[in-house]
């Protein structure tokens, strides 16, 4: 297996640190627009090679694939560049993986009721071409989307005979401090992506009384609920957020409802609302003193790089799936499948903060399963399309075990 890793930021750097301990691949070409950043990530292992790539240009991606005889392209850049990397991989005859899908566009007339262009629509539109070429695009295989999608497959296959709701619930008790030890605002993940998913209309899957299922939208930050997260994180208020799981799970797992709720916190929600009010969430470029800039790019640039906040971060992050319905025994069941990473552990063991590490470990596991031939397929497929048990077993082998908690049905 010869891998092209596109993007050497926080998640890309964590990806190389995790992969360096495994032996399932021949080489990894670590590519970034910033060559220095690629060289830094590639310096950690003799099997790594640095390169430069323009992720927005399919031709640039394809050329790098051909130069290095790449078999698998791993997309670790912001989803605004997804189609460039996705199309470039296909043009070069390589398989493809990403951790977030092609971007959505709200419905022009009823954004908080009806879907417009949904997450992943551009990729699923060409699924037949990928399948016909015998190529695999494994989409949404980070932590979220990704691990919760694997949990959905596991729940359907092993624990539930009928599923009412697949409810992704993510929360954390992470705190970042400044040089003086005071708590400060510093997102633990890409601010560009966070703005995109949090301010877009959240999507919900629901089956009506006639048994017909479809997606609809609601307002950002709607339907708040307090969810009690495990391993000492505790109660966190979660709200609806647009996310790929809701678009992926119903394609392969029967359920009456699918939701995604995230514990953002009052401060973060307020900041996001202010950014929206001021127009600083916009991606369209504006001219400032003769220079064209995207307001959202400016916001992302002035905040700390998520890859650098690890030493000043403490706490745990939890990704998981709350499944309700009927168990295999015919009784009502409510189960939370989860994965918790402590920042102290990920920093000590890998030198990367817990959020980017938890995101990066899942595609490494998936690539190893593909290299072994344990997972295989063609077309545009989500994690739900594959057997969950080998993935969860290998994740545990990587030193990051998953958990399962029974809740009141």
3-state secondary structure 328-370: CCCCEEEEEEEEEEEHHHHHHHHCCCHHHHHHHHHHHHHHHHH
First CA to last CA across the chain, in angstroms?
A: 45
What is the band of 188 on the pLDDT scale with cuts at 50, 70, 90?
low
Q: What is the tens place of the pLDDT at every residue in 2-36?
A: 999 999 998 999 999 999 999 999 999 999 999 99
From 121-125, 307-311, 315-319, the region with the lowest mean pLDDT: 307-311
Measured distance CA(152)–CA(40) in Å, rounded: 37
What is the band of 193 on the pLDDT scale with cuts at 50, 70, 90?
confident
pLDDT of residue 189: 64
* The two structure tokens encoding residue 336: 């939370």
Measured distance CA(264)–CA(172) in Å, rounded: 9
Reply yes or no on whether the pLDDT at 191 is more than 90: no
pLDDT of residue 313: 87
pLDDT of residue 401: 95
What is the band of 199 on the pLDDT scale with cuts at 50, 70, 90?
confident
pLDDT of residue 409: 67
Instruction: Give the mean model confidence (pLDDT) for residues 53-57.
Output: 97
Q: Taking all residues of the chain, what is their mean pLDDT, rounded to a whole number? A: 93
Residues whose CB is less than 8 angstroms from the CB of residue 344 and which lie 6 or more positions away in sequence, other chains included: 314
pLDDT of residue 178: 80
Q: What residues form DSSP beta bridges with 234?
A: 229
Reply yes or no on whether the pLDDT at 186 is more than 70: no
pLDDT of residue 271: 85
Q: What is the tens place of the pLDDT at every residue in 261-280?
A: 998 877 788 888 888 888 88
Residues of the chain with CATH 3.30.360.10: 147-352
Higher pLDDT, 154 or 221: 154
Reply yes or no on whether the pLDDT at 197 is more than 80: no
* Cα angle 303-14-345, degrees, rounded to a multiple of 5: 95
From 132-136, 205-209, 296-300, 301-305, the region with the lowest mean pLDDT: 301-305
Higher pLDDT, 408 or 405: 405
Nearest alpha carbon to residue 97 among 8, 21, 4, 16 = 4
Instruction: Give the mean model confidence (pLDDT) for residues 318-344.
Output: 97
Residue carrying the six token digits 């208020």: 237
What is the pTM assigned to this prediction? Answer: 0.92
Percent of the chain with pLDDT over 90: 79
Residues of the chain with CATH 3.40.50.720: 2-98
Cβ atoms of 6 and 55 within 8 Å: the answer is yes
**Superfamily of structural domain 2-98:** NAD(P)-binding Rossmann-like Domain (3.40.50.720)
User: Which DSSP letter does residue 269 get?
Assistant: H
Instruction: Give the mean model confidence (pLDDT) for residues 177-194.
Output: 75
Instruction: Give the mean model confidence (pLDDT) for residues 152-163.
Output: 98
Instruction: Give the mean model confidence (pLDDT) for residues 231-242.
Output: 94
The dotted CATH code for 147-352 is 3.30.360.10
């Amino acid at each position: 297996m010869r891998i092209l890793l596109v993007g050497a930021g926080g998640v890309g750097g964590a990806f190389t640190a995790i992969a360096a301990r495994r032996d399932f691949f021949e080489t990894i070409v670590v590519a970034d627009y910033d060559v220095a950043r690629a060289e830094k990530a590639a310096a950690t292992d003799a099997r790594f090679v640095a390169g430069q790539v323009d992720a927005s240009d399919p031709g640039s991606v394809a050329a790098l694939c051909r130069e290095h005889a790449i078999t698998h392209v791993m997309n670790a850049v912001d989803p605004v560049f997804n189609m460039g990397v996705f199309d470039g991989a296909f043009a070069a005859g390589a398989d493809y993986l990403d951790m977030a899908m092609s971007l959505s566009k709200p419905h022009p007339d009823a954004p908080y009721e009806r879907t417009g262009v949904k997450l992943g629509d551009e990729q699923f539109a060409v699924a037949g071409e990928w399948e016909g070429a015998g190529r695999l695009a494994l989409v949404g295989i980070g932590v979220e989307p990704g691990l919760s999608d694997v949990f959905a497959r596991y729940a359907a296959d092993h624990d539930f005979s009928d599923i009412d709701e697949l409810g992704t619930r993510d929360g954390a008790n992470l705190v970042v401090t400044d040089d003086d030890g005071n708590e400060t605002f510093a997102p633990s993940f890409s601010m560009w992506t966070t703005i995109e998913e949090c301010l877009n209309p959240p999507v919900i899957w629901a089956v009506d009384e006639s048994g017909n299922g479809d997606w609809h939208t609601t307002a950002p930050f709607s339907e708040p609920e307090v969810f009690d997260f495990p391993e000492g994180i505790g109660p966190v208020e979660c709200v609806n957020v647009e996310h790929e799981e809701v678009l992926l799970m119903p394609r392969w797992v029967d359920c009456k409802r699918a939701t995604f709720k995230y514990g953002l916190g009052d401060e973060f929600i307020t900041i996001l609302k202010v950014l929206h009010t001021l127009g600083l969430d916009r991606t369209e470029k504006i001219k400032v003193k003769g220079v064209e800039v995207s307001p959202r790019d400016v916001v992302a640039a002035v905040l700390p790089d998520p890859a650098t906040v690890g030493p000043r971060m403490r706490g745990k992050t939890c990704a998981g799936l709350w499944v309700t319905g009927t168990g295999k025994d015919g009784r009502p069941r409510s189960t939370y499948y989860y994965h918790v990473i402590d920042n102290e552990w990920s920093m000590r063991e890998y030198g990367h903060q817990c959020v980017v590490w938890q995101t990066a470990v899942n595609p490494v596991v998936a690539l190893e399963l593909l290299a072994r031939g344990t997972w295989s397929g063609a077309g545009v497929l989500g994690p739900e399309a594959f057997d969950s048990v080998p993935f969860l077993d290998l994740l545990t082998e990587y030193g990051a075990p998953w958990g399962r908690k029974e809740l009141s049905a």
